[in-house]
Structure 1
Amino acid sequence: MGRPLALRGDFTAVDLKRLARQSRDADRTRRLLALAVICDGGSRAEAAETGGVGRQIVRDWAPRFNAEGPDGLISRKPPGNPSKLDDGQRAALVRIVESGPLPARDGVVRWRLIDLAARVWEEFGISVSEARMSRELKALGFGKLSARPRHFAQNEEAVAAFKKTSPSAWRRSARRSRQAPR
């Protein structure tokens, strides 16, 4: 049998249940109700059943609650992987993108994500995937531009003939057809 969980003493089971009623986050509500069971003297197994999780999860919630109070039970977005590029490398990447490729050196006439990833590898020795490069560029304020698609068999004369043409000179309507001022 495990040791009983020690929770901070400034919240009673009634306080935790009140906070659970007021909460709009379902996960936080489950966590608060599970910890309220422990404050009432229940076991970890009872608290886990109330929260719909395992006993170890309830044990993980207790230190978060003790350290941060009820706000420690709010669902958080996982931090994810840290960026591979530092601030200096990002500034250099901005310069590379804004200056554009040199066809003689880079072998391309416009930047693609794979080309930029290869350039980052050449410059900094950092391997970056296309998806990571896309996220880095988006974080730097660059958006994806693509050419408007055009069918290979499109007839330019037919397109020009199809377009509606406006009269070369607009005429003002006759006086009688205009609305009278009110």
Structure 2
Amino acid sequence: MEIKKADDAKVVRRLCFISNLYTGDTIKGAATRVGASRGIGSQWLERWNQYGPVGLIPRFGGGRPPKHSHQQSRDLQRLLEEGQPWTTGEITRLIEDEFGVSYHPGHVRRLCRSVYGMSYAIPRPETPSRPENAEEILAKAFGEEEDEEAVDPGETVLGFFR
């Protein structure tokens, strides 16, 4: 029987709940002992009564399907690696433009970090001792022109910083 392989902590917790019921606990008392609510305990008891031990095995649907395919995910990672560093706003617009998928900027930050392995940093505010024409001085010193695309100090910068 599948239940003999009860090394899954969720199944063991549910079995302990059922065991507590057999020792005389109420549903609320048995559920409290295993750190569950009375409502969840009632669901477990109903599944126990209907299906037996197999009813205590979790049945998860796997969650919401992704908004883009694996190929699109690989394409996005390639684009992110080529054009880094990025701000969350830029990545959000890139995903919308390239793949027609809309994400909240907060989710984009989590997605980039967990799925694509990007690190992030919040740009430092300017120091009080910084001259007002710092970019101009720097451009003259290195013979470069000013960068007109400055990063908004409140926006998160993402990149593959290793």
The secondary structure found in structure 2 opposite 1:90 is helix
Matched-pair contact (CA < 8 Å) for 1:34–1:48? no
- Residue in 2 aligned with 1:51? 31
Would you say how many aligned residue pairs link Structure 1 and Structure 2? 120
Contact 1:117 1:130 in 2 (8 A): yes
Shift of 1:32: 4.0
Please list, as runs of the form range in 1=range in 2, the aligned pairs for 1:28-43 lying within 5 A after superposition. Answer: 31-39=14-22
The offset of 1:67, in angstroms, is: 1.7
The corresponding residue for 1:118 is: 93
Task: Look up the match of 1:66.
Answer: 53
TM-score, normalised relative to structure 1? 0.47
Q: How big is each residue's C-alpha offset from its partner over 1:38-81, in whole Å with a ceiling of 9 and x where there is no partner?
A: 445x5xx8233332342x42232243772276xx48xxxx9665
Partners of 1:153 and 1:32 in 2: CA distance: 65
What root-mean-square deviation, in Å, do the aligned CA atoms of Structure 1 and Structure 2 show?
4.3
Shift of the alpha carbon at 1:145? 4.1
Q: Show the counterpart of 1:143.
A: 119
* TM-score, reference length from structure 2: 0.52
Query: Compared with structure 1, are the counterparts of its residues 98 and 51 closer, same or farther at alpha carbon in structure 2 (3 Å cutoff)?
Result: closer
2:112 counterpart SS class: helix
Percent identical among aligned pairs is 19
1-structure distance, mates of 2:81, 2:125: 24
CA contact (8 A) 1:33 1:51 kept: no
Instruction: From the two aligned structures, give the one with the greater strand fraction.
Output: 2
Q: Which residue of 2 aligns with 1:153?
A: 129
Alignment partners' CA distance in 2, 1:51 and 1:146: 44
Match of 1:90 among 54, 62, 73: 73
For 1:2-41, what aligned pairs fall within 5 Å after superposition? 31-39=14-22
- Give ranges in structure 1 of 5+ residues lacking alignment: 1-7, 12-18, 20-24, 102-109, 157-182
Aligned with residue 107 of structure 2, among 99, 115, 132: 132
Q: Flag the 1:144–1:37 CA change in 2: closer, same or farther, 3 A.
A: closer
Deviation at 1:84, TM superposition (A): 2.4
Q: Give the deviation of 1:131 after TM superposition.
A: 1.5
Larger radius of gyration: 1
Unaligned runs of 5+ in 2: 135-162
